[in-house]
Amino acid sequence: MNTNTHDRQGGGGGGSFLSRLGGLDRRWIFLAMGLSIAVPILLKLRFPEVPGPMARATFDAIESIPAGSRVLLAFDYDPASAGELQPMANAMVHHCAARGHRIVFMALWPLGKQMADATIKDVLLEFHPQYAYGTDYVQLGYKAGNEAVVKLMATDIPQQYSTDAAGAALASLPLVADVKSTTDFKLVASISAGYPGAKEWVQYANSANPEAFKLVSGSTGVQVSQLLPYYPAQMEGLLVAVKGAAEYEMLVTAAYPSADKPDLLAERLGQGRVRMGPQLVAHLLMIGLIILGNIAMVAGRSRGGAR
């Protein structure tokens, strides 16, 4: 029974190559896809990335505000999307710190605070140990309420966040003591995996004060088609999935290398480029399979017509 099943699925019967291809067991495709991703990771394949206009616009937006500006970074994602978004977050925090911007971290997703904490530890304090809590950066943490949080932050931040994540009153933290609303920031960045995220920042914060601050975003591939219409009119920069992360990493590491920890910087700000190697091989495999599948389908139809 099993043999028959596998003959039917895998085409062990002696038909032509194309007819066997039509009945190929999908698990062979899974295996091929797994290998196409695993082998480049093991071989550490890296390909050069040419920064596109959207990654460059994001880079330019952070460059264009005066050094030492107050910026708001919203970590609107959780570990499920860290593969795509953590490389962007790492690069953005390093970029902001290298420019001397003072960073306020927050999260619309419950685990976003933990993702921000990891970035602070691995990137901010690792490469910029001079950054002091309260004056150079503040962690506001997660707040429940989805778009209502953004809407209230656009008008009254102290009402939304009366304390930071550790319970210290905002008034006691020099960086945020005088902050009233999102208009007190020069730039707002949302690293976003979905709802609530970048779309809500456009709808409830940027629309209320379109000229008050620059808005940039990094997004997962799944969500980015919803955000593309906002670029560039309502969103100055947009990092598109891991490709955008890799391009942005290229720009940031080229502009702001680390003199004392170059290898560590290459590792921490190279995750996006590392993940582009498997992307290339897997995409080539997929394109090949689509072409082969269509050829098999057309061949099958012709045979059906002939009969």
Across 114-135, b (16+ Cβ under 10 Å) vs e yields bbbbbbbebbbebbbeebeeee
Q: Which residues are CB-neighbours of 169 under 8 A, at least 6 positions away?
A: 162, 163
In three-state form (DSSP H/G/I as H, E/B as E, the rest C), the secondary structure along 146-200 is: CHHHHHHHCCCHHHHCCECCCCCEHHHCCCCCCCCCHHHCCEEEEEECCCCCHHH
Residue 305, both tokens = 């017509």
Query: Cα separation of 56 and 146, whole Å?
Result: 29
Q: Binding pattern to other proteins, positions 165-194, x when CB under 8 A?
A: -xxxx-------------------------
**130 touches other proteins (CB under 8 A):** no
Q: Binding pattern to other proteins, positions 192-211, x when CB under 8 A?
A: ----------xxx-xx--x-
Distances 126 to 85, 150, 246 between C-alpha atoms, Å:
19, 30, 21
Least distance to other proteins from the beta carbon of 197, Å?
A: 14
* CA geometry: angle 149, 151, 155, nearest 5 deg: 110
Least distance to other proteins from the beta carbon of 222, Å?
A: 5
Q: Which residues are CB-neighbours of 47 under 8 A, at least 6 positions away?
A: 273, 276, 277, 280
* Cβ distance to other proteins smaller for residue 98 or 292: 292
* Cβ distance to other proteins smaller for residue 97 or 165: 165
Least distance to other proteins from the beta carbon of 259, Å?
A: 26
Least distance to other proteins from the beta carbon of 235, Å?
A: 10
Among 97-105, 124-132, 250-258, 281-289, which window interacts with other proteins (CB under 8 A)?
Answer: 281-289
Query: Cα separation of 142 and 107, whole Å?
Result: 5
Query: Binding residues for other proteins, how many (CB under 8 A)?
Result: 59
**44 touches other proteins (CB under 8 A):** yes
Least distance to other proteins from the beta carbon of 291, Å?
A: 15
Q: By CB under 8 A, what part of segment 70-89 binds other proteins?
A: 80, 82-84
List residues near other proteins by CB under 8 A.
Answer: 1-2, 5-6, 9, 25-27, 30, 33-34, 37-38, 41-42, 44, 80, 82-84, 110, 142-144, 147-148, 151, 162-163, 166-169, 202-204, 206-207, 210, 220-222, 224-225, 229-230, 233-234, 240-243, 274-275, 278-279, 282-283, 286
